[in-house]
Chains A and B, each alone.
Chain A
């Protein structure tokens, strides 16, 4: 093998993909970011395999030896609670020849035995057996190797939410999340007893780039048009049944009402939005616990806890609350294929009636069998197809609200005490879609840093 050829890289000028001129009222990203397979491979290497990726919530693996499998970038990963109760992240790969040790999405196992040659590991990742080692004629060098499972470089928890990184050159998880943690707290603190996973998998794929679902959750502009069919169904429920027993968000009301909205960008690529003074607050499942929340955390925080809100944590996880709350883990498969692992977290100790309402609302809007998400996935596919127009380089889709961007916090953020890098505040009628600047700044930063590090490693190798 010729090392010079395999290590050769085309040096990319990533700056050309992100055109940020806020003072001139322009922000746009190049369509190649959605359609160039080589760029996708570089995103895997420079972003997904170099930063914190959300992997599991504590309540999804509650018992000792429980495990769940996932992916970080292209790497298959096991999250397992060991027999000592500690959660660890391993690469799902037998140290000997490489088969995946956990083949199911979740389970409980005190031992992992590789089906190929029988090497065995415990739930803490320790190698228990190299099959027939004594008679194997192994070298001293082999015997001095660790045969344990490869641990993922970093694993940290934010109040029960675990992120992992394949690279150890990352800041602490707390620093990486920064002030978007304020939004996470608004979900976590909904119950004095934390959140729990509501069982049942409803995962899906779509034929489009991973950034489409990330963008979608920070875009209120599409709600009225793309989800008109959902809005129509909700209106008809009042007509046919006298009420909507699922108490879904009325989209007409949503756009025309007196509600206000704040959009935020935070350090490290995170985005958020928060709908204020929204009607139908009493139709939210969390309303059942509102009095208790208010007494515990105060009126301002309780309002954020009850409100419609989104936290998009770059690049891997979306916390989305319309009427009810869903988490969406993004798993890019190829430039035009994405898996979404969706799950419902709810306050422990929620009254049964509120829990049932939460579940119906969740399925009604968010599920891929529901009345909203399938229209999103259909349009991602359609945009992926439209974006193949190779003579075109740019879309115009990041300008709505751009004139209203303020640097630093808006009044709401100041009151609450968190520090976004950019804010937009105004009537919900803005239906903003300008707050992709933070995520794409981070994209650019990670791509440049990844390339610099790869190139310096390469020149180091050549010198060495």
Chain B
């Protein structure tokens, strides 16, 4: 596969991730991930320094394994969590998509994102950088790891998988 084609595959997967979250198609979103996936938002230590080891330092979010992602989508679906009732309306934008490194069946993809969301009659937003590690499986490209550098880390009430 040449780099142009990989770029297209990566772009489509990242767009699809945003789309499934925004449309609340939770099962479709979960299908984009490998079973042994990892979603990590390192916490900040100072203005320009983040933690580097989620086993030794505090993360804003560290979920390892698809079950922990599913627990988030079920939490929304069950409607027992006031943090997501009503669900914020979200809009994911992903840009500046660049492939950093690749083999025939894996690639590291850099991008920037902005998530605008509407909650309690106000517009809120999160923005930052994504680093995705994608792997090719029998049924297509999947997200193996997603690392999020969240720029605005003083959280207003809630941070969850559908807001980043």
From A355, A362, A379, contact of B82 by CB (8 A): A379
Asked whether, in the complex, the Cβ of A240 is within 8 Å of the Cβ of B67, the reply is: yes
Identify the interface centre among B51, B54, B57, B71: most chain A CB within 10 Å of its CB: B71
Q: Does B138 contact A (CB under 8 A)?
A: no
In the complex, what distance in Å separates the CA atom of A205 from the CA atom of B54?
24
Question: Quick one: given A369-B61, A374-B81, are A200 and B157 in contact (CB under 8 Å)?
Answer: no
Q: Hey, which chain A residues are within 8 Å of B58, CB to CB? A: 198-202, 343-344, 359, 362-363, 367
Residue-wise interface mask of A (356-397) relative to B, using a CB-CB cutoff of 8 A (1 in contact, 0 not): 100110110001110100110111011000000000000000
Interface size class of B (residues with CB under 8 A): 35 or more
Instruction: Tell me, in angstroms, the Cα distance from A376 to B35 when the chains sit together.
Output: 31
* Contact across chains for B57 and A359 when beta carbons are under 8 A apart: yes
Q: Does A130 contact B (CB under 8 A)?
A: no
- With contact pairs A237-B67, A375-B82 given, residues A199 and B154 touching in the complex (Cβ less than 8 Å): no
User: Shortest Cβ distance from A164 into chain B, in angstroms?
Assistant: 22
Interface size band for A:
35 or more
A228 sits at the interface (CB 8 A): yes
Residues from chain B with Cβ under 8 Å of A205 in the complex? 154-157
Q: Is the CB of A355 within 8 A of B157?
A: no
User: 24 A-B pairs, CB-CB below 8 angstroms?
Assistant: A107-B47, A198-B58, A199-B57, A199-B58, A200-B45, A200-B60, A201-B44, A201-B58, A205-B154, A206-B156, A228-B80, A229-B81, A232-B78, A236-B71, A241-B65, A355-B56, A356-B55, A359-B59, A368-B157, A368-B159, A375-B82, A378-B158, A381-B120, A382-B82
Residues in B lying within 8 Å of A, measured CB to CB? 41-47, 51, 54-62, 65, 67, 70-71, 74-75, 78, 80-83, 120, 153-160
What 5 additional pairs, Cβ within 8 angstroms, besides A204-B157, A205-B157?
Answer: A200-B43, A201-B44, A201-B45, A206-B157, A369-B41
Seen from chain A, the residues whose Cβ lies within 8 Å of a Cβ on chain B are 104-107, 198-207, 226, 228-229, 232-233, 236-237, 240-241, 339, 343-344, 352, 355-356, 359-360, 362-363, 367-369, 371, 374-375, 377-379, 381-382
